[in-house]
Amino acid sequence: MTRITWLITRYLRDELSTAEKQELEDWIAADPNRKKWMQRFEEPGIHGLLYNMSEINWKDGHEKFLQRNPQYRETERRPTVFFHKWMAAAAILLLILGAGAWWILHRQSIPSDPVQRSQQPYAQDVQPGSEKATLTTGNEQPVLLDTLKSANGKYTNENGQLNYSHDQNIDAAVSMNTVTTPKGGTYRVVLPDGTKVWLNAASSIRFPSAFTGNERKVTVDGELYFDVAKDAQKQFIVQSNHSTTTVLGTQFNIADYSNDPYTSTTLVQGKVVVSKGDNKVMLQPGSQSVISNTNDAAPISIRDANLEETVAWKNGYFIFNDAQLPEIMRMVERWYNVSVIYEATISKQFVGVIRRNEPLSKLLQLLELTGEVKFSINGNTVKVSR
């Protein structure tokens, strides 16, 4: 985040010191285009969306920012409240700057009336996803989980979470179970060993009713977050379409959707080994493995992960950090159960934060603020245009 971005967010919250206000005014006065651009923040549409933005507890990230930039540290009488408000303002500002900060701040051009565009009402809207999934046991037909409560002590099901018994002796005969979330659905599962699993939309996990033998193996599709119960005697193995992840006890996120260009495994804590054929890599906390879904010969790569962004879905948020529009719209398709049609190619990157429980129109309005893209909703179809 640049110094100017920081000043503008404080300006939006009316929290500038006298010196900061003068610094911002000097920056605005240096070019008439900047003044015109700043005036857009006074429009009701901007302020309305500003206060609808999510307020994440960014305390740790804020402290890291101050450690790297001690010149911005100051005495704050109410640091937590200040920071929440500051980030709410920053979220909407960064959404606008994220699509074109370079050409706004350096080339001094201005988006073509983003405020007016963002205020265009949608004739239709789509509500966000919810806690829903199906359970398939053995060769039986799938059953909606919201109709099940318990079954012979094997599991309980309530409040969007399916809990399998931790008593490994309760099953005389082991059966295979599959929990599947549809588009627009999410669910949590506690496996027989106590491992906790969060399923994102359009995802599934297949697991036994009891883990026997010397390993605990599950098969997954889509995106899931694991908090694996420790068991030094039994490795925990996650098999997805394009990778195998082996752990003993750890927390990690795996995303392997068939229509994504790559599969990623992101380690939050502990240690895991990710493999594809004979290619193996070991991850450290905060790192992410990337496997191509289209090139089987490509090696596994490792990169630093943005953990907050990666697990945002689990915590009820969308977080975009220099995200391409196709990537964002794939998330939209899964969570809102819609189809996306492109009438234009949008090559800009986007930055923003919004809660996943907002209706689709709120998310689209925020993207439209960039002036780079327009949307229309017709039933369960979203059209993308300029």
Residue 9 lies in a domain: yes
Q: Token pair of 291, please?
A: 């496997």
Q: Token pair of 196, please?
A: 């906790």
14 and 85, same domain (yes or no): yes
Q: Which SS3 state, helix, strand or coil, does residue 53 take?
A: coil
112 and 146, same domain (yes or no): no
Res 354 pLDDT > 60? yes
Per-residue pLDDT at 344 = 94
239 and 327, same domain (yes or no): no
Q: Higher-confidence residue: 1 or 284?
A: 284
Q: Token pair of 358, please?
A: 């907002």
- End of a domain among 310, 325, 352? 310
303 and 334, same domain (yes or no): no
45 Rama sector, left if φ>0, alpha if ψ -120 to 50, beta otherwise? alpha
9 and 93 in contact (C-beta within 8 Å)?
A: yes
Res 95 pLDDT > 60? no
Residue 123 lies in a domain: no
Per-residue pLDDT at 235 = 95
106 and 11, same domain (yes or no): yes
192 and 108, same domain (yes or no): no
- End of a domain among 55, 88, 118? 118
97 and 139, same domain (yes or no): no
How far is 94 from 321, CA to CA, in rounded Å? 9
Over residues 50-58, mean pLDDT = 42
99 and 138, same domain (yes or no): no
Q: Count structural domains, the chain.
A: 3
Per-residue pLDDT at 189 = 97
Residue 214 lies in a domain: yes
82 and 171, same domain (yes or no): no
302 and 340, same domain (yes or no): no
Per-residue pLDDT at 13 = 64
Residue 162 lies in a domain: yes
Indicate the pLDDT class of residue 166, thresholds 50, 70 and 90: low
Cβ-based neighbours of 203, under 8 Å, separated by 6 or more: 180, 181, 220, 221, 222, 223, 224
Segment among 12-16, 262-266, 344-348 with least mean pLDDT: 12-16
- End of a domain among 72, 88, 118? 118
Res 116 pLDDT > 90? no
| CATH number (domain holding residue 362) | 3.55.50.30
96 and 135, same domain (yes or no): no
Q: Which SS3 state, helix, strand or coil, does residue 339 take?
A: strand
Per-residue pLDDT at 151 = 58
Res 106 pLDDT > 70? no
Place of tokens 């750890």: 250
| CATH number (domain holding residue 302) | 2.60.120.1440
pLDDT tens figures, 192-209: 999 999 999 999 999 999
Over residues 139-151, mean pLDDT = 81
Segment among 153-167, 331-345, 347-361, 372-386 with least mean pLDDT: 153-167
Indicate the pLDDT class of residue 11, thresholds 50, 70 and 90: confident
Segment among 55-59, 223-227, 250-254, 264-268 with least mean pLDDT: 55-59
Residue 356 lies in a domain: yes
157 and 301, same domain (yes or no): yes
Residue 234 lies in a domain: yes
Res 72 pLDDT > 80? no
Residue 189 lies in a domain: yes
User: Which domain does 325 fall in, by range?
Assistant: 317-385
Residue 125 lies in a domain: no
Per-residue pLDDT at 46 = 53
pLDDT tens figures, 234-290: 999 999 999 999 997 899 999 999 999 999 999 999 999 999 999 999 999 999 999
pLDDT tens figures, 277-329: 999 999 999 999 999 999 989 999 999 999 989 999 999 989 888 889 999 99
Long-range pairs of 32-41 with CB within 8 A, sequence gap ≥ 24: 33/108, 33/109, 33/110, 34/108, 36/110, 37/104, 37/110, 38/8, 40/114, 40/115, 41/8, 41/11, 41/12
Res 20 pLDDT > 70? yes
Per-residue pLDDT at 337 = 98
